[in-house]
Structure 1
Amino acid sequence: MTANLSETLTLLLIEDDDGDAFLVEELLKEAVAPPRIFRARSLSEARRKLTPEIQCVLVDLSLPDASRLEALEEVIALAPYTAVLVLTGLRDVHVGVTAVQAGAQDYLVKGDVEARLLARSIRYAMERKRADVAQLKLVQAELTAKENARLESALLPDPLLRTQEIEHVTRYLPGSGGTLAGDFFDTVQTPDGSVHLVIGDVCGHGPDEAALGVALRIAWRTLVLAGQTGDTLLRTLDALLRAERQAPEIFTTLCTATISPDLRHATMRVVGHPPPVLVRGGTVEVVDGTPSGPPLGIFPDAAWSVIDVPLGDDWSMMLYTDGLIEAAVHEPGRLLGVDGLVELVRAHGVIDLDGLIRHVGTLSDDLAVVMLRRRRM
C-alpha cells in the first residue's frame, strides 16, 4: 500500500539494530516520494549527523550510549525546531506518554508499524511541530510586546510641568525592525520655575539598551529634582552608564536644556547628540556651538561646554534622536539629515511633528522627538 509522503523529506533514523533500521527504510520506500534517510547507530553518531537539513528524527529509546529518554532529550536539545518521532520495541504505553510529555511529537511501537501508519505519523509529527513552533513564536512575540510596552512607558514618561505657558509635544516611533532601542526623554519643572529637558539615545538596539535608557532617564529626573544640574549631573550619568552597561563600547548621546523661569533664555549641553532646531521670531536655525562635548561613556575625564541660547518671547524648540535625520526620504538611500530637517521646518513655517514624521520614509532606528513652544498668553 502506498504511503502518503508526497514530497521528498530528509530524515535521520537513530537506530542501533540493523534489522529494525532495514524495516523502517523498506516501509518508507513505499512512499510516493521516498525520503532521504540518514542513519546513526548511536547518540554520539547522531550528534554529527543532526544537521539543519534534517526535517524529522526517528529515534529509538534503546541505544548503546543512551538509556530511555536520555537520547530523546538530547535530540530535542540539539534540534529544538525539528519534529521527533519515537520508535521503540517497548510495549509500555507509559513510555510513550512520557516521551510525548518530554517533547516528542508521536510514539510508535516497532512491531505495530506498517507503511501507511509510519508515513502518516511522520507527516503528523512535522505538522504538530510546526504548530508548536508557531505557538511558541506567538507567545514570545506577545511577551516581547508586553515587555516593550513596559519599557516604553518607563522611557517616555509624562512631563512634570506646572506652567501653562509652554506647549509640550512628544512623538516616539520604533525602527523598521520593531525592536525597542534606548531612546529616552523627560521634562521636569523645578520649584524655581526653571524647565529642564533631556533627550538621549543609548547606542544599540534591544531590551538591554532600552533598560539602560530607562535607568538613565530615571537617574536624570531624580538628579534634577534633587537640584543637581550641569556637569555634576552629566558626570553622575556617565558613572551610572559605565556601571550598568553590558559592554565597554556602549555609549550614550544626549542633549539637555534648562529654560529660565521667565522662559526667555536657555542653557544647553549637546553631548555628542544631533543639534536642536529652534524657531525664534520666525527664523529657523540649529543651535550654534554644538556639540558641547563627546558622548557619555567614552572619555572618563570629559567636559562639556555650556551653550547659551537667547529665546525671546516667541520661540519653539525641537530636540530629537538621530532616528529622525537618518530616516530615508524620497528615493532609497537618501537620508533626511540636519539640513533637510531644517528645510522641512522652514517649509511648514512651524515645528509640526506629525507633518515631519509623515514626510520621512523607512526608519532604520528609533525616532524620538520633543517639541516645546512658548504659548502667547
Structure 2
Amino acid sequence: MPAPPVSVPLQQSAATVEGAVETVTRGPVPATGDLTLLVIEDDPAGTFAVPELLDSPGSRVRVRSARNLTEAGRLLTDDVHCVLVDLALPDGGDGGGDGLEPLRRVLRLAPRQAVLALTTSDDAERAAEAVRLGAQDHLFRDELDGRLVRRTVRYAVERKRADTAQRKLAESRLTAQENARLERGLLPTPLLQGSALRFAARYRPGRSRALLGGDFYDTVRTPDGTVHAMIGDVCGHGPDEAALGVELRIAWRALTLAGLYGDELLSTLQRVLEHERESEEIFATLCTVDIAPDGERAELCLAGHPAPLITQNGGAGRLLPYDHGPALGLLPCARWPRHQVELGPEWSLMLYTDGLIEGRAAPGERRRLGDEGMLTVVNRQLAEGLRGEALLDSAVAEVRRLNGGELTDDLAVLLLGGA
C-alpha cells in the first residue's frame, strides 16, 4: 500500500524542495530547469501536506509560502513560475458563493504565471471548474506525493508557456491580417470610368512581408475628360514613409479632382509633405502626366523623378526628355516646368519609381541597371510582342533576375496606353 501523506511544516518543506524557477514568464522553460512555486494556503499552522520532495537530476523546485493573497502579492516576483492557491482561502464575500473567488483573484494577480488549484478529493467538481476558469491543473490535498507535485508543477508551467505562445501567435496573425486589410484598402483604385485608355500597374514594397511601401501612384479622370496619372516615391522604406506616401496620393487625388494642376498642385502637395513628414530630411519625388481628352497629347511634370518611357506606333521605347524641377520638400519656393508631349494615335506610357532601375545590371555585379538598362530590358520584351500586363510582369521579373534576387527598394510601375 502507498505510504500515507506526511504533514510537513511549510518552512521545512521549502528547505526540503529547494529549487528555483528563474523567470519563465519571459522565455521558454527548460525541460529540466529549476522552478519556483508560490503556495498560498489557509493552514493556520503553516503546514503543507506533501511528502519530502527530492531533487530530480538537474532540477529543483523551490517553495515560497503565503498565508493570504495580500502576502502573496508581495512574494509574487518575476522569478515565480507557478502559483498553487488553496480554494479554502476566504473569498472576501464577493465570489458569489462558488468558492472560486480566491482563484479568480490569483488569475488576475498572476497573468503570466501557471496557476494550480488546491482542494480536497471530495470536491472534484469545483476542481474541474477551477480548470475551466483558467487554472492549468489542480491538486487534491489528501492525495499529494512529492513526484506528483513536482510533475504537476512542471507540466503546468510548460502548459502555460505553450498557451501563452499560442495566444501570442494568434494575436500576431490577427494583427497581420488586420494590417494586410488596411494596406490593401490604402492601395489606389483607378478612377477611369468613361475613358478608353488601357491601364495596368504593378507594386512591390521593399519591406519584408509588407504590402505597402513608400512608393505611390494613382490615376483619375476629371469631368472634362482629361486623364491624370501620377507616380511618386517617398525617400526611405519604413511604415512612416508608407503612411506619408498614402497621404500624398490621397491629397493629389483630391487636389486634381478640385481642378488644381502644375505649380499650384505641386506646391500644395509640398506643403502637405512639409506638415506631415517626421523630419526636414524627408522628401518625395513625383511624376505627373495629364492626358488630353482626345488621348493624343499630354503634359508632363517631373519633381526629381525619373522620366517616363514612351512607345509610339508599335516602335521601340524611348525615355522622355528629363526636364524637371526639384523633389518635393527640398526647396521652399520651387517651380516645376511642364513639358508638352505629342502622343499620336497609338502609344503607351510607362511611369516607374527608381526601384525598377536601382537593382544590379547582372547577378554579382556592382553596376546598377539604370534607365538605359531598364530601357534595353523593355525594348527586348516589346520586340517579343509583350504588351500591357504581360509586359509589366516580364519586366519586373527580368529586373529581379538581373539583380540576382528580390529587390530591396520599393517598386511601382504604371502603364497607360491609347488606341
Calculate the TM-score normalised by the size of structure 2.
0.65
Give, as a single letter, the amino acid of the residue that structure 2 aligns with 1:271: A
Match of 1:177 among 192, 202, 208: 208
Match of 1:189 among 209, 214, 221: 221
After superposition, the Cα gap between the structure-2 partners of 1:9 and 1:216, relative to the gap in structure 1 and judged at 3 Å, is: same
Match of 2:411 among 367, 373, 377: 367
Give the equivalent residue in structure 2 for 1:232: 264
Give the equivalent residue in structure 2 for 1:8: 32
- What are the within-5 Å matches in structure 2 for residues 77-116 of structure 1? 84-86=113-115, 105=136, 112=144, 114-116=146-148
CA-CA distance at 1:258 after TM superposition:
1.3
Give the equivalent residue in structure 2 for 1:57: 81
CA distance in 1, matches of 2:183, 2:64: 47
1:2-36 superposed Cα distances (whole Å, 9 cap, x missing partner): xxx9943354556899x999x99x74722xx5337
Give the equivalent residue in structure 1 for 2:55: 29
CA distance in 1, matches of 2:61, 2:376: 64
CA distance in 1, matches of 2:328, 2:60: 57
- What are the within-5 Å matches in structure 2 for residues 247-262 of structure 1? 249-262=281-294
CA distance in 1, matches of 2:127, 2:282: 51
Structure 1: runs of 5+ lacking an equivalent: 51-55
SS state of the match for residue 349, structure 1? Answer: helix
CA distance in 2, matches of 1:217, 1:237: 9
After superposition, the Cα gap between the structure-2 partners of 1:248 and 1:134, relative to the gap in structure 1 and judged at 3 Å, is: farther
Give, as a single letter, the amino acid of the residue that structure 1 aligns with 2:224: D
Same amino acid, percent of matched pairs: 34
Instruction: Please tell me whether the aligned partners of residues 292 and 307 of structure 1 are also in contact (alpha carbons under 8 angstroms).
Output: no
SS state of the match for residue 185, structure 2? Answer: helix
Match of 2:246 among 207, 214, 217: 214
After superposition, the Cα gap between the structure-2 partners of 1:195 and 1:34, relative to the gap in structure 1 and judged at 3 Å, is: same
CA-CA distance at 1:228 after TM superposition:
0.6
CA distance in 1, matches of 2:201, 2:54: 63
Give the equivalent residue in structure 2 for 1:167: 198
Corresponding residue pairs, total: 348
Residues 193-202 or 85-94, more deviating: 85-94
Calculate the TM-score normalised by the size of structure 1.
0.71
Give, as a single letter, the amino acid of the residue that structure 1 aligns with 2:257: L
SS state of the match for residue 234, structure 2? Answer: strand
Residues 85-94 or 218-227, more deviating: 85-94
Residues 90-99 or 151-160, more deviating: 90-99
CA distance in 2, matches of 1:219, 1:198: 12
SS state of the match for residue 237, structure 1? Answer: helix
Structure 2: runs of 5+ lacking an equivalent: 3-28, 66-71, 87-101
Residues 334-343 or 90-99, more deviating: 90-99
Give the equivalent residue in structure 2 for 1:344: 377
CA-CA distance at 1:179 after TM superposition:
1.4
After superposition, the Cα gap between the structure-2 partners of 1:162 and 1:134, relative to the gap in structure 1 and judged at 3 Å, is: same
CA distance in 1, matches of 2:208, 2:62: 38
CA distance in 2, matches of 1:104, 1:323: 53
SS state of the match for residue 335, structure 2? Answer: coil
SS state of the match for residue 192, structure 1? Answer: coil
Give, as a single letter, the amino acid of the residue that structure 2 aligns with 1:338: D
Quote the RMSD (CA, aligned, Å). 4.3
Instruction: Please tell me whether the aligned partners of residues 196 and 259 of structure 1 are also in contact (alpha carbons under 8 angstroms).
Output: yes
Give the equivalent residue in structure 2 for 1:53: none
After superposition, the Cα gap between the structure-2 partners of 1:16 and 1:203, relative to the gap in structure 1 and judged at 3 Å, is: farther
Give, as a single letter, the amino acid of the residue that structure 2 aligns with 1:368: A
State yes or no: 1:263 paired with 2:295: yes
1:157-178 superposed Cα distances (whole Å, 9 cap, x missing partner): 13324232x2211122344611
CA distance in 1, matches of 2:279, 2:131: 42
CA-CA distance at 1:38 after TM superposition:
8.6
Instruction: Please tell me whether the aligned partners of residues 88 and 110 of structure 1 are also in contact (alpha carbons under 8 angstroms).
Output: no
